[in-house]
A and B are shown apart, each in its own frame.
Chain A
Amino acid sequence: MRDDITKIRWHGRGGQGAITAAKIVANAAFSSGYGGVVMAPTFGTERRGAPVLTSLKISKHKIYDLSPIAEPDIVIVLDHLLVEEVDVASGLRPGGLIIINTPRPPEAFAFADMKVATADVTTLAGKAGLPTGIVNTGIIGAFARAGDLLDMDTLAEAIESEFAGKSPEKNIAAARATYEHTLVGETDEKRQQ
């Protein structure tokens, strides 16, 4: 199948704003020249707090397959407690990246052959002035740092457009603070070397 598509799967809880976060990254990617951008929430019978999934596919070319991502390149987890509830690494390719909102360091997570990046987005976003639990813009900073796909300034612009007229400053501050404080671990293999 096509190898020109970066596949990012977002794990969050209903009401946590994973869809908005994925939409912001989609807009940033599109404005950076990725003409093929598809963001597909997986809908069930969601309710607040229940685990939810969103698929984001990014390519330079138009994307025709809108089906949910089964084999992601990057997984983003908005709440570290989900790691115990959901197989967040399902289908992730060896060497793939898992970004987690957690106060714990990457080494605290045992994912064989995966690269783990962590940031305490909940605390950082609170310090940036966002209400407790608003982590969907902060986590974008961790994606900018660990994801190697889009730079922080482009993502900050996309956050600004998304929250235009609704004081985007705190959201941008949360993302930038998270960008500075994201810890990027090594894969098991590299750690053992």
Chain B
Amino acid sequence: MHIIESGNVAAASGVQLSGAQVIAAYPITPQTPLTEKLSELVDAGELNAQYIPVESEHSAMSVCIAASSAGTRAFTATSANGLLYMNEQLHWAAGARLPIVMCVVNRGIGAPWTVWNDHQDAMSQRDTGWIQLFCCDHQQIIDTVIQAFRLAETVRIPVMVCYDGYILSHTYMPFDIPESAAAGRFLPEFAPDWALDPACPANLNTVTLPDIRPNVRGETAPGYMEIRQNLHDDMRRAIDVVADTDAEFAQVFGRGGNPFIEPYRCEDAEYVAVAMGSLSYQLRDVIDVLRQEGLAIGVAGLRLYRPFPNRAVAEALSGKKGVIVFEKAVSYGYEGPLYADIKAALYDCAQRPAVHNYILGLGGREIKTDDLFDSLRTSCGADAPEAREPAFVGLKI
């Protein structure tokens, strides 16, 4: 059934269809309508979950950690400084291998205060050990939330579903709400292979010495470093699981097919723009005009940021004349974080494209179509200047 609603309602509908059992959240703009909707669904008996209002985001994630450790399907959502306030617990959730799902409604970070969109919040949590997926429209939001639970529970790694604050969270557009029965077939009940159980007490994640040691049963248990390598290896393996999850979702619902990169007019393109989230869709109309002008250009929307699908990126971009990375985040003192990752993924390519970096839309600065045209025209063609530093686009002074 298609409805016209906001991105936040799309996310809430995805959580409802996923049968989340514990929801703990603290409201923050622009995430607030999502948690309000979930609390309404729980209150109306339309979602059989415990909604636990908490006094902070740190506590929200702590409750999710406890709930997930006890073997229940846990969900939270936040934005910007709320996400940063969770930071310690984010590392904990991933280290403890808890399949929590969280929507990050992307917003710029203070100081100075902003409530508007960019990607600095999610990008700053890149190395917490969470899987990070980005959405371009409301259909992807609801579909990705449902997939995220299955993905998280398959690999036992928590998942962030990221979508643009306001641009997606507060915009209304049509999307299809999957049938509940089909969602249930795709995402069976959470059945963890271990969980806290008073009948069988256990210590979880206690102090782990630098060296390996025997556990209580006398078996050799991994030390801290082995546990870290396991998380890293499982993150790398999760790339394949993301693809499998997408393929199985497509079988049930007929949507998907581009788990890592969503290409638009890239097949015969000499130049490819790269972006994450709604910006990659906004670029499509720009690409159409540039194509009419005779420029062989396409746009690739990156859906999975961590684990980084470096092979898929290399395959998609190798041999192109130029790659233009647009992003709404900065690694202060270096360059755009996505730009650095894209360049690294292309290092082994026989034919390395020139890679350009544009930083834009920070703190909700409007991304003007004209600016996108200017940036792409500057970076395409034989006389394109060699990119050395990221260029900030849309500055007014």
Contacts and interface: CB of A to CB of B under 8 A. Distances in A.
A67 B172 contact: no
Contacts of B289: 1
A38 B281 CA distance: 13
Contacts of B30: 43
B171 A30 contact: no
A26 B172 contact: yes
B21 to A, nearest CB: 29
B170 A65 contact: no
Contact of B285 (A1, A23, A39, A41): A1
Given A66-B168, A67-B367, A37 B281 contact: no
Nearest to A5: B285
Contacts of A27: 4
Contacts of B42: none
User: Which of the listed residues A1, A39, A45, A65 has the most CB atoms from chain B within 10 Å of its own CB?
Assistant: A65
Contacts of B4: 23, 26-27, 30, 37, 39
A66 B369 contact: no
Contacts of A45: 115
Interface in B331-372: 366-369
A140 to B, nearest CB: 15
A23 B172 contact: yes
B369 A38 contact: no
A30 B174 contact: yes
Given A1-B285, A27-B4, A65-B285, A38 B171 contact: yes
B167 interface: yes
A39 B171 contact: yes
Nearest to B364: A43
Interface string B251-282: 00000000000000000000000000010011
B166 A39 contact: no
23 contacts: A1-B369, A23-B172, A26-B172, A30-B4, A35-B174, A37-B172, A37-B174, A39-B4, A39-B173, A40-B171, A40-B172, A41-B170, A43-B30, A43-B170, A63-B173, A64-B282, A64-B285, A65-B282, A65-B285, A66-B168, A66-B171, A67-B366, A68-B366
Interface of A: 1-2, 23, 26-27, 30, 35, 37-41, 43, 45, 63-68
